[in-house]
Amino acid sequence: MVTKVMSANQAIAEAVKLANPEVIPVYPITPQTTISEYLAKYVADGDLDSEYIMVESEHSAISASLGASGTGVRVFTATSSQGLALMHEISFAAAGLRLPVVMADANRALSAPLSIWNDQQDSISERDAGWIQIYAEDGQEALDSILMAYRISEDKNVLLPSMVCIDGFILTHTVDPVNIPAKEDVNKFLPKYKPDHAYLDTKKPMSIGTFTDPSYYMDARYDMELAMERSQEIIAKAHTEFSEIFGRDYDFVEKYRSEDADVIIVAMGSICSTIKDVVDELRDAGEKVGLVRVRVFRPFPKTQIYEALKGASKIGVIDKNVCFSIGGVLATEIRSNTGLDVSGFIVGLGGRDIKPSDIKEIMEKTKNPTKQTQWIGLKKEEH
């Protein structure tokens, strides 16, 4: 166990080294690229014994991942934005084939206009693909979440792929102290992947990815729904065991000074660090405000979110994505799944900076609830 100062991208690469996937197909895209580079270097230096495939597109990165996972080995890939959108078709196949691929997504805006900067539109747009989605707040959580993602995805009660999302540049290219767990501890937490549902073995031929007619398709999709529901329990168990072995606590949602709060802000990812500072400042000034950070977005932790929010009189939900004519996706899902009234705010699209003053503005606006989604940080008031 050692603590080093590193970016979340490097933290993810360190996690991958510890998880030791047999095959790593990747394709560079800003701001994910350095994950691919770190992994290439680990392999080149003999620090990681993996088949590293530098494929010719993200579509092939995820396709090769499915091929390798279907052969029965652990795989890792990483992407961002346009790359994730290009993977869209195969993302659905990964979940449908029940292949426990683990992928990191460096959250970045989708074109057009072309932007390399952060928002969460890319992964949010994959919410129906059947992947478990975890949004990390910092580099440490990024590392830990990769290890937990393997544990969860490869569990026989789940067998769905996982996406660990980290905010582009804000996390991928800034450094923080990160504790790197010992390999022996990781081995305890993460046993070798030994599938008995899908593996290409000439000793026991099986056909993977067959053609189905209407008498089978729907049931296969329902099985995925059941697996996603079951994953809640597996995720909870992973959190508990992770805490026991590594001493760091995680939950579906993180409650930050929200227990007695009148005003609660809900958000995902790195923005939560800014919100925590604002909460501290306002708490010092006597305001009863708090934060609920949604860490696991799929499966959607409806009960945990409801329990965390039900005591508040005013709730504001921050989204770094937009579902046009509807609003932010997290706000919409919280409304429809908890029945609570929440005010929705859209911020930070395409890397628009989010300042503590913006968070304070959101808190003020939350005190006067409206059903109208509010865009914060636009340049012109007349928008």
Partner 1 sequence: MELPNKEFLAPGHRGCAGCGATIGVRLALKVLGENTVAISATGCVEVITTPYPETSWEIPWMHVAFENASAVASGVEAALKAQGKTDTNVVVFGGDGGTADIGLQSLSGAMEREHNLIYICYDNEAYMNTGIQRSGATPYGASTTTSPHGKESFGENKPKKNMPMIMAAHGVPYVATASISYPEDLMKKVKKAAEIEGPAYIHLQQPCTTGWGYNPAQTIELGRLAVETGSWILYEIEEGEFKVTYKPIQRRMVKEYLDAQKRFKHLTDIEKEKIQSHVDAICTELKI
Given 113, 207, 214, 382, the residue binding partner 1 (CB under 8 A): 207
58-74 core/surface letters (b: 16 or more CB in 10 A; e: else): bbbbbbbbbbbbbbbbb
Minimum distance from residue 316 beta carbon to partner 1 (Å) = 41
Rounded CA Rg of the chain: 20
Phi and psi at residue 263, to the nearest 5°: -110, 125
Given 211, 284, 325, 381, the residue binding partner 1 (CB under 8 A): 211
Which lies closer to partner 1 via its Cβ, residue 100 or residue 299? 100
Q: Say whether residue 208 binds partner 1 (CB under 8 A).
A: yes
Instruction: Return contacts of 273-281, CB within 8 angstroms, 24+ apart.
Output: 273/137, 273/138, 274/354, 274/355, 274/356, 274/359, 275/318, 275/359, 277/356, 278/356, 278/359, 278/360, 278/363, 281/356
Ranges within 96-135 binding partner 1 (CB under 8 A): 97
Cβ-contact 236, 101 below 8 angstroms: no
Residue span binding partner 1 (CB under 8 A) among the ranges 11-19, 65-73, 78-86, 320-328: 65-73
Q: Considering CB under 8 A, how many residues would be counted as binding partner 1?
A: 43
Minimum distance from residue 61 beta carbon to partner 1 (Å) = 8
Q: Say whether residue 213 binds partner 1 (CB under 8 A).
A: yes
Query: Measured between alpha carbons, how far is 98 from 160 in angstroms, rounded to an integer?
Result: 5
Residue span binding partner 1 (CB under 8 A) among the ranges 106-114, 162-170, 201-209, 324-332: 201-209
Q: Say whether residue 20 binds partner 1 (CB under 8 A).
A: no
Residue span binding partner 1 (CB under 8 A) among the ranges 36-44, 71-79, 160-168, 343-351: 71-79
Given 40, 55, 245, 376, the residue binding partner 1 (CB under 8 A): 55
In this structure, the strands spanning 289-294 and 253-256 are antiparallel
Q: Say whether residue 245 binds partner 1 (CB under 8 A).
A: no
Residue span binding partner 1 (CB under 8 A) among the ranges 19-27, 241-249, 266-274, 335-343: 19-27
Q: Say whether residue 53 binds partner 1 (CB under 8 A).
A: yes
**CA nearest to 366, candidates 319, 317, 316:** 316
Minimum distance from residue 50 beta carbon to partner 1 (Å) = 7
Q: Say whether residue 216 binds partner 1 (CB under 8 A).
A: yes
Q: Say whether residue 90 binds partner 1 (CB under 8 A).
A: yes
Q: Say whether residue 57 binds partner 1 (CB under 8 A).
A: yes
Given 1, 206, 218, 226, the residue binding partner 1 (CB under 8 A): 206
H or E, element range at 296: strand 296-298
Task: Using DSSP, state whether 371 is helix, strand or coil.
Answer: coil
Maximum distance among all Cα pairs of the chain, rounded to whole angstroms: 69
**CA nearest to 308, candidates 272, 248, 373, 261:** 261
Phi and psi at residue 367, to the nearest 5°: -65, -20
Which residues are near partner 1 by CB under 8 A? 22-23, 25, 50-51, 53-57, 59-61, 63-73, 75, 89-90, 93, 97, 200-202, 204-213, 216
